[in-house]
Structure 1
Amino acid sequence: MQLTTVFLALALLWPVGPPAPEILRGWRPPPGPYAAGHRGVDLAAPPGTPVLAPAAGTVTFAGPVGGRGVVTLTLTGTGTPPLRTTFSPVTPLTAPGTRVAAGTPVAEAAPGTHCAAPCLHWGLLRGDVYLDPLLLTARPRSRLLPLDG
């Protein structure tokens, strides 16, 4: 299943907002699995901000990792292995195994970020490959075909 097809099938919501949050730091994939990089995006989100499911899925993890709260949402109908989106630092509002619709609050932003301003780190993975989570917010461009086909 191609990613473009997957993204067309998703609800494609921002995890905080509306309006769309300010992006404090963008995605910079590392050149290797253990190299430095930024494996997600940082969105402006003060503590207490509701964190919403950007698409329908199942909460597959909700708990601490390295002293920070993390929620992982496995997205419905996104192929094998399925897409997973992660949020940190958060206070989970849902337990693992909970199915949620797009727009459902799954957590609240928590203090203790790595940003200069309060933020939510948002990640996206397929298997062990990190992807740019902003792909979940962008609709593919339309392409007009010539009248004669």
Structure 2
Amino acid sequence: MRRVLARVALCPALLMVSVLLAPGPSARAQPPAAPDPPADVPAIARLWPVGSRPPVLRGWQPPATPYGAGHRGVDLAAGAGSPVRAVAPGRVSFAGRVAERGVVAVELSGTDLRTTYEPVGASVREGDEVAAGEVIGTVEATGSHCGASACVHWGLLRGGTYLNPLSLLPPWLLGRGPSRLLPVLTA
């Protein structure tokens, strides 16, 4: 009986020693690495898609999973009929209707990025080259997901990954930027 009790008493000690002497995390099998996060988005936009500094009604909320809940763009306040402009130069890769809503997509020149705008009545066609600031359509009044007010949903993608479209804007367009010292005026 004493031998059995001695063995049982040694079990927790052996367990502790085996944990302490076990190979470290680098020697254990590792799960597959997650894909690298998207590279930085260049601040190449020179203007907002609507207005000069429209209120952001709903910000970007990336989903935890590819099909998870979230908001894959930003909603910008804009009145029905307002012009929608390309934020940077590129080529129109889609201009048409999706689920009864007008959508325009622009592949940005010199990048692997694509911007999307909806609900927009397109004034451009697929394949058109557009300049930064060029009108690509007007805000549609129908089907606004912003409630009583009209808005434009502005999206940004790299391949199939959604990114924050506000990252295309330089800090000065977002109302942020470096402090500037002004000269002291004396009388």
Q: TM tier, shorter chain?
A: 0.7 to 0.9
8 Å contact from structure 1 (residues 13, 136) kept in 2: no
Amino acid of the structure 1 residue aligned with 2:164 = D
SS across alignment from 1:107:
strand
In the aligned structure 1, how far is the partner of 2:60 from the partner of 2:96?
24
Deviations 1:41-99 (A, max 9, x none): 00001111100010000011000011101000000011xxx100000011000000000
Q: Which amino acid aligns with 1:84?
A: R
**TM-score, normalised on structure 2?**
0.68
**Aligned residue type for 2:104:** V
Cα drift, residue 139 of structure 1: 3.5
Equivalent in 51, 64, 73 of residue 31 of structure 1: 64
Q: Which has the higher helix share?
A: 2
SS of equivalent to 1:3:
coil
Q: Which runs of 5+ in 2 are unaligned?
A: 1-37, 179-187
The structure with the largest alpha-carbon Rg is 2
**Alpha-carbon separation, structure 1, partners of 2:97 and 2:69:** 22
- SS state at 2:166 partner: helix
What SS is found at the alignment partner of 2:76? Answer: strand
Bigger strand share = 1
Q: How does 1:1-149 map to 2 (within 5 A)?
A: 2-4=39-41, 6-7=42-43, 10-18=44-52, 20-78=53-111, 82-111=112-141, 112-116=143-147, 117-139=149-171
Pairs aligned (count)? 135
- After TM superposition, the score normalised by the length of structure 1 is 0.85
CA distance in 2, matches of 1:92, 1:52: 11
* Partner-residue secondary structure (3-state), 2:88: coil
Query: CA offsets, 1:79-129, max 9 Å, x none?
Result: xxx100000011000000000110000011101210122100000000000
Unaligned runs of 5+ in 1: 143-149
SS at 1:134 equivalent = helix
Matched position secondary structure for 1:113? coil
**RMSD of aligned residue pairs (Cα, Å):** 1.7
Q: CA deviation at 1:135?
A: 0.5
Cα distance, 1:2 vs structure 2: 4.6
